[in-house]
Structure 1
Amino acid sequence: MAVDIDQKVATEKKLAEKNAEIAGMLDSIADGFYALNHKWEITYFNKTAEQVLCCKREDVIGKNIWDYFPRSREGKFYEEYHRAMREKVVVQFEECYWPLEVWGSIRVYPSADGISVYFVDITEQKKVQEKIYNNEQNLSAIINNTNDAIWSIDRDFRYISANTAFWERLRAKFGTQEGALTRGDFDKDRFQEWAVYYQRAFAGETFKIVRSTETPEGKVYEEVSFNPIRNKNQEVIGVSCFARDITAAYLHIQQIETQNEQLRKIAWTQSHELRLPVANILGLSELVDQENCGNPANRELLKLMIKSVTQLDQVIRKITGYTSNPTSPS
């Protein structure tokens, strides 16, 4: 009898030591961990779970999880825990415990006594994901709130991204759906033209071009920017492009340049062609015999003055032609 009691004590001691070892291991892991029995009572709660869920194990041990954490009935917790308990299957999911605003990546394992729950606090990851998502939405709103076409391609000429204006423009030209455009949709000359631009950008060059296109409404001018896309090793992995309609501005600049050219012609005409007849008239007027109007020499001087006035009139008409018809030839 004494031997049996000693063996029992020894066995219980070993069991207690093993349980303490397991408890120590569970407390040392980075994952949160707790165990539930078939009555949904919490039978174990490690230190990480205490820290993440802001409670003490002595306060939760023996408590019904749905009573102690009533908001855990919301979301996926209630449904997935019951499924693991009922079907004896491993389940994994992500969910937020909203009273604490804590996101967890949760794995639930069935056990002989109930279920074991391991979870990792992924709150910061979710915040980063949310920030990235919000930034993407803001960027999407910005690039789609314009009539300018914005797109990017990889080194195989496949589209990485594009805004609504770009796809609408291609849909109008080719009748293709978003993302469905292929190299075969372009004629050879058009593809070769753009391939030259892309290859310049693939080589690391940032540049702009102005190209014109004939439309039923007339000629349209576009300014297209090409910018290399680099990875963290500064290798060019694609090209981003920005095309905007500059027809009004381009034609206005052309008009200003034409007007400036006409002004240069007028200035040259005034400084070279206009001075000669004026100088002739002034010189001849000095030779007129005002004391003797009947002097025969006056008649010859008058003829020369009339000739110079005629030349002056022609020059004035030429200048007037520049101002009334800016495209007239010189």
Structure 2
Amino acid sequence: MPIRKRQSAPGVPSLGVILMGREEEFSFEHRLFNLTGAITLMLLAPFLVIDILIGATKSTLLLLGLIAIQAIFYTLSRRFRKYKSIVISYVIVVYTGLSANYFFNAGIDGPTLLLFFTTLQLALNISHKEKYVLWLGLSLLIPGTLLFIELNFPHFITGHYKSGAEKFIDRFGCYVLSTIYIFFAMSTFKGHFVAQQEREKQRTADIAEYGIRLRAFFESLTDNFVLLDKNMGILYFNKAAVDLTTNLYGRKIEAEQNIDQFVHDSNKELFHYCFNTALNGTSIAREFQRVYGTKETWWLSTFNPARNEEGEIIGVTMVMKDITDAYLYKLKIERKNELLEKISFIQAHELRGPLTSVQSLLELIKDECRGLDLIYTRKLEEGLNRLDMKIKEIITLSSDYKEDV
């Protein structure tokens, strides 16, 4: 029966999080530095007890100083989130402490050289690559210097072991310290590496899926889409752009070509202006006409700046839309408007003038025949009034139509 992994209670951080900090708050090197500080404090405490029991006074005082310094560095790193500013000083303090320990703790017979090796691993794990040569040089220079001093001035070395048991305890204890550190450091590093691999796999899968969706989207567009770099080099295009260049220019658009070879000489100046405008961060759209054989085609070209994740402009996206039908419809509407204006002028002047004249004559007839009840004058007046109303209605409808258009 499978055993379920025990999980921490919601809201309660794990021991690793308490000692190292959360991944979203600390970098991997910073968390490893925190882990090293915590492990070092936990392991130095037993050694302090051992030195007190065996009566190693100088070594005890040195350990007390190292524990105090280690506690300060750990607090600065974990609590106050200081890392880059204290790494170099931390490693230098460790090397200084180990150098002093070499003289106080039996020299080459003691465990200090093993601790130098462990410190090199620590320095490599918590620092950036450009510091590797420095730490390697110090790890070779300092132990070599200490061995040279002991060889030529052996009386500088103190703290010799009084018995084989002391030697065994000290050496084995340092070996345990180094082994535990390497175990936790490598386990943490491997865990981080595996997690990073999983994240990279997921990111690659997400990018691939996003790329498929994006390609499907652009391929489904009837508009011509082209992505250009800063030098007008073609980076990406959709099927509509391929069909356009193949049918109209007799050659297929391809990546790394320069878009300039597909721009007609009559439109190059406008094209370059729009491209540079978009490259400077401003979107722009322009209409232009091209004649292919006997066919007149109108295009709407839209230029937009293309940006990366940091917001930097890396190129220009160009979308060309065939607006011939819309443009011809627009011309048709404009011609209708012109015709309506002519009709309105005729209605307002050429028809209104004769109507006004007839209405004036009718008034004169009515004045001369004031005492007579002439039926034909009333009928004529009614007809003229109806004609006047119709002219006004036509003018009103014409004005409303032009406003709607």
Scaled by the length of structure 1, what TM-score is found? 0.52
1:184 to partner: Cα distance = 4.9
Q: Is contact 1:230–1:237 with CA below 8 Å preserved after alignment?
A: yes
User: What aligned pairs does 1:282-321 form with structure 2 within 5 A after superposition?
Assistant: 282-287=359-364
Identify the residue that residue 129 of structure 1 maps to in structure 2: 204
Bigger helix share? 2
1:145 aligns with 2:220: yes
3-state secondary structure, aligned to 2:290: strand
1:287 to partner: Cα distance = 4.8
Whole-angstrom CA distance in 1 between matches of 2:168 and 2:309: 60
Whole-angstrom CA distance in 2 between matches of 1:160 and 1:126: 25
1:21 aligns with 2:178: yes
Identify the residue that residue 88 of structure 2 maps to in structure 1: none
Identify the residue that residue 277 of structure 1 maps to in structure 2: 354
Whole-angstrom CA distance in 1 between matches of 2:329 and 2:262: 34
Match of 2:241, as an amino acid?
Answer: F
1:211/1:152 Cα in 2 relative to 1: closer, same or farther (>3 Å)?
Answer: same
Identify the residue that residue 238 of structure 1 maps to in structure 2: 315
Q: Is contact 2:278–2:305 with CA below 8 Å preserved after alignment?
A: yes
Q: Is contact 1:148–1:243 with CA below 8 Å preserved after alignment?
A: yes
Q: What whole-Å deviation, never above 9, does each CA across 1:270-311 have from its counterpart, x for those lacking one?
A: 11221111222233345569x99xxxxxxxxxxxxxxxxxxx
User: What aligned pairs does 1:167-246 form with structure 2 within 5 A after superposition?
Assistant: 167-172=242-247, 173-179=249-255, 181-182=257-258, 183-184=260-261, 188-216=265-293, 218-231=295-308, 235-246=312-323
Whole-angstrom CA distance in 2 between matches of 1:236 and 1:270: 58
1:181 to partner: Cα distance = 3.3
Match of 1:156, as an amino acid?
Answer: N
1:133 to partner: Cα distance = 1.7
Whole-angstrom CA distance in 2 between matches of 1:184 and 1:121: 45
Whole-angstrom CA distance in 1 between matches of 2:279 and 2:196: 42
Match of 2:283, as an amino acid?
Answer: T
1:22 to partner: Cα distance = 3.2
Farther-moved stretch of structure 1 (131-140 vs 165-174): 165-174
1:13/1:273 Cα in 2 relative to 1: closer, same or farther (>3 Å)?
Answer: same
1:168/1:15 Cα in 2 relative to 1: closer, same or farther (>3 Å)?
Answer: farther
Bigger strand share? 1
Q: What whole-Å deviation, never above 9, does each CA across 1:162-195 have from its counterpart, x for those lacking one?
A: 2121122123314135226334565654433421
Farther-moved stretch of structure 1 (238-247 vs 200-209): 200-209
1:31 aligns with 2:199: no
Match of 2:319, as an amino acid?
Answer: F
Whole-angstrom CA distance in 2 between matches of 1:262 and 1:187: 36
Match of 2:238, as an amino acid?
Answer: N
Q: Is contact 2:305–2:315 with CA below 8 Å preserved after alignment?
A: yes
1:26/1:217 Cα in 2 relative to 1: closer, same or farther (>3 Å)?
Answer: farther
